[in-house]
Structure 1
Amino acid sequence: MAYPVKWYASQMQGAPSLGDTADGALAALLKAVLVTGFGTLTINSLVWDAATGWAKATISAGHAYLQDSVIEVSGASPAAYNGEHRAMKVSSTEVWFELDGGNPGSAASGVMSMKVAPLGWTLTHESGDGKMAIYRPTDVSASGNVSLRIDNTAFSGWFGATYMGYLAKMQLVEDVVDINTYTLIADQRWPATGRYSDKRWDLIGDPQLFYFLPAYASGNYQSMFAVGYLKSVRPGDRYHAITLNYSSTNADDSNRRWNVGVGGSFTNYGTQGLTFDDTTNRLLARPYSQLFGVVGCWFKGMFTRFGTGMNVPNGADNAFYMSTDPIMVMETGNHLRGYLPGLICPFASVSAWYRKNFSNMPALPGKIVRFVSGTYTESTTQGAPTMVGFDLTGPWR
């Protein structure tokens, strides 16, 4: 089965760490998620479980694969067990997963392994040490001319000597010749480590766009970053790549002191990616005209941000409300450029739902939804994280 959307989290089997003070951790994390997959373990037995109608893999030494994630099996015979599958249930030593063709007819044999399946982007260029890389969606005809370049080396200024920020370059590029030869569209920053936090992270994406929510700095909040292609309304659009960025390119910015916790001064290290009607730290590669130069944009919603607007439960009907409509992306000048796919806008934030998955909600039958909380202001003293939902089933387009 094809899985157009996949999700990843720091507690998964073999998940790469966001790191602490060393350069290269973000680059390694993105390569593992986007291209190679991670968390490979040996399968000791693989059978068809008639009671559940799923295949059952036993990993005697134990594992940390998660329900609802997409795993990849290789080395099994019959071959029907191989490939990418949705994990339907897990125990400490077993993983049950769905098979399109049903019962393969016999238990599997061979040198069998399982890993968390990659998102399926293409790595086009990489430095020898792996700390710089250029990625693009695999199907260029469905996306556009823009690639993502990550520079997670110890370049001058990546580390804040006084105020302790750690930033990697997140760049939009085109006309790529090699890792150092390209046309620069935009030069932004993402957090390069999880310094001072518990280093948890979530990443949800499809073949053209992904959302990355790392925890970093002493506030220990996750913030939402993104890169990739929105759903454009313009025919033939080749520059509808969008980014959500860190609020500064200066890792030693005195207003963004990673080593100061919530309640202190100068903790403006959050992002505003979950707010509506706000152009802060987000851009499109080119305007709808396709002429050179980045352009600002903002998202439209019913209330001021994700995760707010109504009581939960709603008094009149004891319900929880959310919007499943695609998020409008407005370009500077009040032009609708397209829609930001995969997001679900809850009208309240429920702390007990944080980083939890829900299946077959009344408004979304047949879907799996994951709720994560992220910052909605730069200042961690002015607001706790707000909740956003992600469609883990898709397709987003």
Structure 2
Amino acid sequence: MADYPVKWFSNDMGGAPVLGDTAAGDFIALLKACLVTGFNVTPVASATYEAESSEVQVTLTTGHGFKAWQVIEVSGADQESYNGQHRVTSIGSDWVRYVPDAAPSVSPATGTTIEIKAAPVGGWDVVAEDVDNHRIAFKRTDPRATGHVLVIENNGNEGQYPSGGEHLAMMRVCDSFTDFDTFEEACTNYWPASHNWSNKDEWHFVGDSMLFYWIDRYANSSKMSVFTAGQIESLMPGDASGFVLNGIGSGSSHEWRSNDVYYTDFGSFNYGSFRKIARSYSQLPGSVSWQTVGIGSAFGDLASYPNPQDNGFYVATGKILVTESGGIRGFMPGVLQPLQTSSVYHSKIVDNVPNLEGVPLLFLLVTKQQAYGTDEVLVAWRLDGWDK
């Protein structure tokens, strides 16, 4: 069966979770939908295999909301070739198409109730949930994963958030977790959890069973910023603490309404603001800062666009390094460095970049540095397997 370990979601997909103007659990519902349950469950009117194209065309209702490159999950067909996870190759107003693992023995598909939905990332389980207080805890089931539990609190202005911070979610990485009152914390950071001050509702989510990226547009200057939680590709055999987290501040010097300082510096290299890795390479208790290293000083910042010599557009094929305490801890999964920046690529998926032909890449314009929130650079994410 074809394997699609990396899933991509965006706010403009059909049935996508909505971030409102207040925190109050919206962000938790979004994470749960992307990681565990999926969304946009839609009944299938018909599913027909076309031998000439080797594709299945699924007829739905008008305005179904599925997108090309999205990974869907089909269930309920009597013929297993129709079922399972598939990447959407093309869409129409009332249909989607995908390539099945094998040619079905019967066409059209039969089944009492055939359904399609946005496939969840998978490999993340909910180990605790407190609906009343907007708290949830996720643990990964992948055998390669460390034992960390990711605990999210998204309860608005209750408890420990200062004025202006009520639209944040607390992201807590725990070395051990029994319940919401009994845990051993490794590190904590804050993520945006509403679109209260943004002039445009836009978010993207890219992840696999080990790590995910949350790319959100928020705050007064309405720029996108990158947040990540999960396990890096470590150089250390048996690294039990290679869980990274980044975020933004929550305090009087980092007011939510700020035009620039409330963004992450993920777009730049060799910065470590609000970045923590669960433990250092020594594996002794206590989180430490981490940085990324690529070519030059930032993503998308090496050459002009288009490239003057050939009018081309290029992405570096090498992995992004993760450094800690002056040494290399490992690599950042799934993210690649465009060598140029252009707004025409924002929110586009391209699979014909030189030297990366056949690899679908999602491009997003994101803030470059925390202190320069209006500067944007282009970052790319692989939508195929991150183990490559």
Counterpart in 2 of 1:389?
A: 380
Counterpart in 1 of 2:333?
A: 341
Counterpart in 1 of 2:102?
A: 101
* Alpha-carbon offset, residue 82 of structure 1: 1.1
Find the residue that maps to 2:35 and give its secondary structure: helix
2:22–2:156 contact (8 Å) kept in structure 1: no
Counterpart in 2 of 1:228?
A: 230
Question: Judging changes above 3 Å, is the alpha-carbon distance between structure 1 residues 324 and 87 closer, same or farther for their aligned structure 2 residues?
Answer: same
* Alpha-carbon offset, residue 180 of structure 1: 2.8
Question: Judging changes above 3 Å, is the alpha-carbon distance between structure 1 residues 164 and 114 closer, same or farther for their aligned structure 2 residues?
Answer: same
**After the TM superposition, which residues 260-339 of structure 1 pair with which residues of structure 2 at under 5 Å, given as runs?**
267-332=260-325, 334-339=326-331
Find the residue that maps to 1:224 and give its secondary structure: strand
Which of 122, 126, 140 aligns to 2:125? It is 122
In 2: Cα distance, 1:180 partner to 1:12 partner: 36
* Alpha-carbon offset, residue 302 of structure 1: 1.3
Query: Which amino acid is 1:384 matched to?
Result: D
Is the aligned partner of 1:256 residue 2:289? no
**After the TM superposition, which residues 157-196 of structure 1 pair with which residues of structure 2 at under 5 Å, given as runs?**
161=163, 163=164, 166-196=167-197
* Alpha-carbon offset, residue 194 of structure 1: 1.5
Counterpart in 1 of 2:140?
A: 137
In 2: Cα distance, 1:355 partner to 1:331 partner: 31
In 1: Cα distance, 2:315 partner to 2:102 partner: 35
Find the residue that maps to 1:33 and give its secondary structure: helix
* Alpha-carbon offset, residue 152 of structure 1: 0.8
In 2: Cα distance, 1:380 partner to 1:27 partner: 29
Query: Which amino acid is 1:56 matched to?
Result: Q
In 2: Cα distance, 1:61 partner to 1:312 partner: 38
Find the residue that maps to 1:170 and give its secondary structure: strand
* Alpha-carbon offset, residue 283 of structure 1: 1.4
In 2: Cα distance, 1:299 partner to 1:164 partner: 27
In 2: Cα distance, 1:230 partner to 1:195 partner: 32
2:11–2:18 contact (8 Å) kept in structure 1: yes
2:23–2:168 contact (8 Å) kept in structure 1: no
Query: Which amino acid is 1:288 matched to?
Result: Y
In 1: Cα distance, 2:133 partner to 2:119 partner: 20
* Alpha-carbon offset, residue 303 of structure 1: 1.2
* Alpha-carbon offset, residue 155 of structure 1: 5.2
**With structure 1 as the length reference, what TM-score do the two structures score?**
0.92
In 1: Cα distance, 2:159 partner to 2:217 partner: 21
More divergent stretch after superposition (220-229 vs 179-188): 179-188
* Alpha-carbon offset, residue 142 of structure 1: 0.2
Identity among equivalent positions (%) equals 33
Find the residue that maps to 2:352 and give its secondary structure: strand
Which structure 1 segments of 5+ residues have no match? none
Counterpart in 1 of 2:82?
A: 81
Which of 214, 217, 221 aligns to 1:215? It is 217
Counterpart in 1 of 2:242?
A: 240
Counterpart in 2 of 1:63?
A: 64
2:189–2:246 contact (8 Å) kept in structure 1: no
In 2: Cα distance, 1:338 partner to 1:98 partner: 35
In 2: Cα distance, 1:87 partner to 1:328 partner: 32
* Alpha-carbon offset, residue 254 of structure 1: 5.0
Query: Which amino acid is 2:298 matched to?
Result: R
Counterpart in 1 of 2:19?
A: 18
Which structure 2 segments of 5+ residues have no match? none
* Alpha-carbon offset, residue 321 of structure 1: 2.4
Q: What is the aligned residue count?
A: 384
* Alpha-carbon offset, residue 318 of structure 1: 2.6
Root-mean-square deviation (CA, aligned residues, Å) is 1.8
1:48–1:104 contact (8 Å) kept in structure 2: no
1:208-264: per-residue Cα shift (whole Å, max 9, x none)?
001110111121111000000000000111100011211x123xx354342x6x5xx
In 2: Cα distance, 1:255 partner to 1:176 partner: 29
Query: Which amino acid is 2:348 matched to?
Result: K
